[in-house]
Amino acid sequence: MTESDTAPLFHHPDRNLALELVRATEAAAIRAVPFIGRGDKLAADGAAVDAMRAFLGTVNFDGVVVIGEGEKDEAPMLFNGEHVGNGQGPACDIAVDPIDGTSLTAAGRQNALSVIAVSDRGTMLDASSVFYMDKIVTGPEGIGVVDIRKPIGENLRALAKAKGKDVGDMTVAVLDRPRHAQLIDEIRAAGAGTRLMLDGDVAGGINAARYETRIDMCVGIGGSPEGIVTACAVRALGGLIQGIMAPKDDVERQKGIDAGLKMDYVYEAHELVNSDNTFFVATGVTDGGLVEGVRRMGPIIRTHSVVLRSKSGTIRRITADHLAAKWLEE
């Protein structure tokens, strides 16, 4: 029996934490609304960061930011290593993305989210030294069937067989980037369709792992922080995620090695997040396939959120109405 087996329950994140975290993602999403379609992604992100951090400060937990805003957004707050929460309650690793899809928000496009992921302290892989990761995500049918090292066509045929579908009925989510031109051609050559994402591959990965969506697989190179966040959700959904670090040059590769990351190595879900008690919380900023965006409806502001917890294997959807006057007063 390990120390963690005998530790008091309050040392670990419990079910009440999820509802507290939703308040933070709701706040970030609401504060981002005035910037939707205004072309200023930094202003949108800044407003969301301020709101999320303020609400996290009231939550009953001792969180350490493992995946934060960091260097990518030159953020002064919610940086890697920052402590958040009131310092009481469970000790946790936390990954935050006040807006996953700042460009989407600025352009007024779909699928922008405010996201928080949490796990037991010391269980999240700190992949911040290498910004990109090659990833593949599927639902439970992909476990033991799909392998990121195999050609995409082979993976598609194997997954289609496991799901009892024709390859022609398969849809693969891929970030629409020049680096993925050959991958997209290979997916289409195999007979499958593509869902090209302008940004925000967290939503793409989660939709690939969920059973009721039209997305069967999410593949390609995206942010490694987003990979860790997605892994927290995938563990709750029982799906498959694999990742390989994709440093942009030899300098970043060595930086990753110095930080303890393995290169040319396939990270499985339990290595990205080594905890069976993960939380994933997301509130829609703009409408998308995972959740609807924030809506102003007369005197109220309506938010839509999703909460995933791996320990209980539950998916909860939360619709909240906020008095607009309360937000305008602040």
Residue 132 annotated as part of some ligand binding site: yes
CA–CA distance, 73 with 48 (Å, rounded to integer): 12
Residue 226 annotated as part of some ligand binding site: yes
Residue 322 tokens, joined: 């906020």
Residue 45 annotated as part of some ligand binding site: yes
Residue 101 annotated as part of some ligand binding site: yes
Residue 276 annotated as part of some ligand binding site: no
Residue entry with tokens 């499958």: 192
Picking from 291, 277, 226, the residue whose alpha carbon sits closest to that of residue 95 is 226
Residue 225 annotated as part of some ligand binding site: no
How many alpha carbons lie under 13 Å from residue 78 in its C-beta half-sphere? Answer: 29
Compute the 3-state secondary structure of the chain and give helix, strand, coil in percent, each to the nearest 5.
Answer: 40, 25, 35
Residue 102 annotated as part of some ligand binding site: yes
Residue 253 annotated as part of some ligand binding site: no
CA–CA distance, 303 with 293 (Å, rounded to integer): 7
Would you say how long the chain is, in residues? 330
Residue 100 annotated as part of some ligand binding site: yes
Picking from 95, 92, 114, 97, the residue whose alpha carbon sits closest to that of residue 36 is 114
Residue 201 annotated as part of some ligand binding site: yes
Picking from 307, 313, 247, 241, the residue whose alpha carbon sits closest to that of residue 271 is 241
Burial of 248 (0-12, 13-18, 19+ CB in 10 A): exposed
- Interhelix angle 181-189/152-163, rounded to 10 degrees, is 50
Residue 265 annotated as part of some ligand binding site: no
Burial of 21 (0-12, 13-18, 19+ CB in 10 A): buried
Residue 5 annotated as part of some ligand binding site: no
Tell me the binding residues for substrate: 100-102, 132, 177-179, 199-201, 223
Tell me the binding residues: 45, 69, 97, 100-102, 132, 177-179, 199-201, 223, 226
Tell me the binding residues for Mn(2+): 45, 69, 97, 100, 226
